[in-house]
Amino acid sequence: MTNDSWWSDAVVYQVYLRSFADGDGDGVGDLAGLRARLGHLVDLGVDALWLNPCYVSPQRDHGYDIADYFAIDPTYGTTDDLVDLVAEAHRLGLRVLLDLVPNHCSTEHPWFREALAAPVGSPQRGRFVIRDGRGPDGALPPNNWQSVFGGPAWTRLADGQWYLHSFDASQPDFNWRDASVRAYFEDVLRFWFGLGVDGFRIDVAHGLVVAEHLPDLPTDGAVDRHPMWDQPEVHEIYRTWRRIAQEYRPDPKYFIGELWVDGTERLRPYLAPDELHQAFCFDLLVQPWDADRLAGAVRSGLATADDLGAPAAWTLNNHDVHRVVSRYGQVQDLSAPDPQDLLAAARRTGPVDLAVGAARARAAVMLLLALPGSVYLYQGEELGLPEVLDLPDDVRQDPIWVRSGGRELGRDGCRVPLPWRADAPRLGFSDPTGAAPWLPTPDWFAGYAVDRQARDDGSFLALYRRLVRGRREVFAPGAPLRWVDHPDPDVLAFTRGAGLCLVNVGGDDLPLAPALEQAIVARSGAAGGLVRDSAVWIDTARVPGGLRSVAWDVPSGAGAPARA
């Protein structure tokens, strides 16, 4: 498999391993379960898979707290199983990306244990951000930084010093100003690359280095650069990593960053040709179902991609946000998302109209898969799974739930094990004679099971399969997007190659000109026009007389001049 820019228009399927499929009956998904079901990804037509962290971990943050970066957690299998999985995936034409977590490890990582046992000021302590506290007896944390998961970002050690953790207290931050940390991660990269892994998603890629003197965050939050994030020294690290990635010929390795930085200028250095290949475009994910807001996010994502020369990586779902069906099924909040907490917009709760949410989610993925760039899908979205909002409190495991004292539901509801077979015990996720799934699967998940949807031409799964497999037939890879001026302000309309994508984000059903109607190659909603909350793909080569001859069959009946 060679093609050194395979990722630039790929569809990548995110596997949250512990919830994908359980091969050994312990109630937790694993590599054997995934391997047995790689056919699901092949049937979907995706190009690659991204595996959430599956290294040795005490699982306080389900693998984002790593105790051994060089081995697979026994719950998931062995390192040999991973090698076999990669080989099998490659045989099936799928690339494999792992998740790299360089910002922090687990308190059970041997280095952190050594640091605790070592004296103040020792090289072992120097691998972490460990400092004296403030106040006469050092009982106050070194500064006022807050953890992303809530509460202070510092925890005190038995000897009175404090360690930094941007996330949970079980996830101590590495000190990236320490040469041994840098060397360690270079070894980690080479180890997994050497085993055939094609690339990495980099966790909190803007977070590795913190401001040198650990300044307080001004209480009004007014800083040009938050001292915990996006420090200029991080770029040297990525330049080294990219050099390592390029050593693999003829198939260089690939990096995509989880980067929460503000605006194109801040993103620019990360996506320079000698750093990371791509960054997730989260702006679209946090928007409500509103034509202007969605179009705005697409425009800015494309402008950034063009400006930086790095194809956009679109996504609507991942393991950190509420599932899109539930987000779009709520009353849409049109206020601007809080720039300090964008994820709040993607984890809002409220009453959900699932039928509305499902229609919008189907239309939205048609938008996504028509755009230039790559698309990251999250397991279960191809089934139209909603967020499970009513998990019992005592089964919830997310540190966000725990650290917020139950005020925030957190992310368990998008991590519920997948339903494979509607009539099988445990919905086919795991062996019925084994342990119960690690999170309970609600009975109503049966209605979303893969086997049921595979038999139904109108299902989410059938739609996803048609779209993923068919998108390149009309939306030629690399072809630029051209907006089309549609008279209805609630319709997003654009062409790319021979494809025309129309998305009706408004509340009214709209008619379509017969010339368009007969050239439809995919639709998300009911037949006959462009019904509300739906999208269509049209093959313009099949429109008699071409697109310019079409009068848009809406009340104003205008033509179709290009908008930009």
Q: In terms of CB distance, is 53 or 497 closer to ligand NOJ?
A: 53
| Of 35 and 104, CB closest to ligand NOJ | 104
Least distance (Å) between residue 335 CB and ligand NOJ: 25
**Cα–Cα distance between 130 and 210 in angstroms, integer?**
12
Nearest-angstrom CA–CA distance, 112 and 427 = 40
CB 76 within 8 A of CB 17: yes
For the chain, give me the number of helices (H) and strands (E)? Answer: 17, 18
Residue 61 or 517: the one with the smaller Cβ distance to ligand NOJ is 61
Q: Which is nearer to ligand NOJ, 148 or 498 (CB)?
A: 148
Count CB neighbours of 243 within 10 A. 11
Distance between CA atoms of residues 261 and 207, nearest Å = 10
Nearest distance in Å: CB 354, ligand NOJ: 25
Residue whose C-beta lies closest to ligand NOJ = 64
For residue 400, the Cα-to-chain-centroid distance in whole angstroms is: 18
H or E element, residue 83: helix 79-91
Residue 320 CB, nearest distance to ligand NOJ (Å)?
5
Please state the closest distance from residue 64 (CB atom) to ligand NOJ, in A.
3
List of residues contacting ligand NOJ (CB under 6 A): 61, 64, 101, 167, 203-204, 258, 319-320
Rounded (to 5) percent helix, strand, coil in the chain: 35, 15, 50
Residue 355 tokens, joined = 């039928």
Rounded to whole angstroms, how far apart are CA atoms 447 and 100?
A: 35
How far, in Å, CA of 415 to CA of 35, rounded?
19
Distance CA 145, CA 152 (A): 6
Residue 279: which H helix or E strand, with range?
strand 278-281
Q: CA 182 → CA 175, 256, 272, distances in Å?
A: 9, 19, 20
Structure tokens that stand for 444 in this block: 């109503």
Shortest spacing between CB 453 and ligand NOJ, in angstroms:
27
Amino acid symbol at 33: G
β-strands 130-131, 154-156 pairing? unpaired
Examine the residue annotation and report whether 108 is marked as an active-site residue of this protein.
no
Half-sphere exposure of 237 (CA within 13 A, CB side): 28
Q: How far is the CB of 403 from ligand NOJ (least distance, A)?
A: 11
Q: At residue 536, what are phi and psi to the nearest 5 degrees?
A: -130, 150
- Judged by beta carbon, residue 76 or residue 460, the one nearer ligand NOJ is 76
> Which one of the listed residues 30, 198, 203, 387 is annotated catalytic?
203
Question: CB of residue 151 vs ligand NOJ: minimum separation in angstroms?
Answer: 15
- As measured in angstroms, the least distance from the Cβ of 336 to ligand NOJ is 23
Check residue 140 and report its DSSP letter: B
Q: In sequence order, what are the residues at sequence separation of 6 or more whose Cβ sits closer than 8 angstroms to the Cβ of residue 147? A: 153, 165, 166, 167, 168, 169, 403
* Active-site residue, from 132, 187, 247, 306: 247
Output the CA–CA distances (angstroms, integers) from residue 33 to 18, 25, 127, 421, 503, in the order listed: 10, 10, 36, 14, 37
Please, which residue, 324 or 502, has the CB nearer to ligand NOJ? 324
203 among known catalytic residues? yes
CA distance 276 to 447: 40
Nearer to ligand NOJ, 106 or 524 (CB): 106
CB neighbourhood size of 53 (10 A): 23
The least distance separating ligand NOJ from the CB of residue 167, rounded to whole angstroms, comes to 4
Residue among 54 and 500 whose Cβ is closer to ligand NOJ: 54
CA distance 525 to 362: 8
Q: Which one, 63 or 357, has the nearer CB to ligand NOJ?
A: 63
Measured CA to CA, the distance from residue 268 to residue 262 in angstroms comes to: 11
Give the residue numbers annotated as catalytic, written as ranges: 203, 247
